[in-house]
Amino acid sequence: MTRKQTPSQTVGPFFAYGLAARQYHYRFSQIATADVAGPDGAGERIRIVGRVLDGGGTPVPDALVEIWQADSRGRYAHPADTRGSNTGFVGFGRMGTGTDRENRFIFETVKPGSVDGVSAPHVTVVVMMRGLLVHAYTRLYFADEAAANAADPVLSSVPERRRRTLIAERRESERGVEYRFDIRMQGDRETVFFDL
């Protein structure tokens, strides 16, 4: 008897219909969307826009990106954070790169606050994609938080020449404030990834 591989033993294409169903127009429910702030999340509204790039700099058309962040007051929408977050703030988002013409991920959210008064405002980012058997974890920091970034213990632990790979650049667009954050999986400017 021959045995077949199970989804846990192979890589994709399970992301689209299993994790971001509505984005890919499947009629399944999902636990997260690209709207991280929710309709009532208080704070400065921002968009996080970027692409997942392979070693050659080509956008990956079937990556799945998840983000988790604190609200504008530095509080997580999670039972373990007993301080309580903004009413209506979601704090968790998920988006595949396959439905955007430029293979981008785009999250609607609010700019997070410092969680503990020491850490710089940041967003935790998780990447899943073909050929990647283990999730890749990184962080997004904000270019306009230079003083906080300089004091952040996690960012300070990264070699100085590589810190730039964790900084999202602010720009104004017709849709409001955007932070550009491309994730490079390999190569000279590879994004710094963390072990959890």
Give 97-131 pLDDT, tens digit per residue.
988 899 999 999 999 999 999 999 999 999 988 87
Q: What is the pLDDT of residue 85?
A: 63
pLDDT of 124: 97
What six digits make up the tokens of 27?
């009629």
Give the DSSP letter of residue 83: T
- Specify the 3-state DSSP secondary structure of 166: helix
Pick the closest to residue 122 from 105, 132, 109 (CA basis). 109
What's phi and psi for 105, nearest 5 deg? Answer: -105, 140
Q: Does the domain formed by 32-184 have CATH 2.60.130.10?
A: yes
pLDDT score, position 62? 86
Across the strands, what pairs with 140?
A: 123
pLDDT of 34 reads: 80
Question: Domain segments of the chain: what residues?
Answer: 32-184
Q: Bridge partners of 69?
A: 123
In order along its 196 residues, the chain shows pLDDT tens digits of 676 655 554 555 555 556 776 777 777 777 778 888 888 788 899 999 999 999 999 999 889 999 999 999 888 877 677 676 666 788 899 998 988 899 999 999 999 999 999 999 999 999 988 878 788 999 999 999 999 999 999 999 999 999 999 999 999 988 899 999 999 999 989 999 999 7
Model confidence, pTM: 0.86
Distance, CA of 53 to CA of 102 (rounded, Å): 11
Q: DSSP labels for 89-114?
A: ---EEEEESTTSTT-EEEEEEE----
SS3 122: strand
Give the CA dihedral 184, 187, 188, 189, nearest 10 degrees: 0
End-to-end CA distance of the chain: 38
Closest CA to 192 of 171, 172, 169, 163: 163
Burial of 110 (0-12, 13-18, 19+ CB in 10 A): buried
| Close Cβ partners of 170 (under 8 Å, ≥ 6 residues apart) | 142, 143, 144, 177, 178, 179
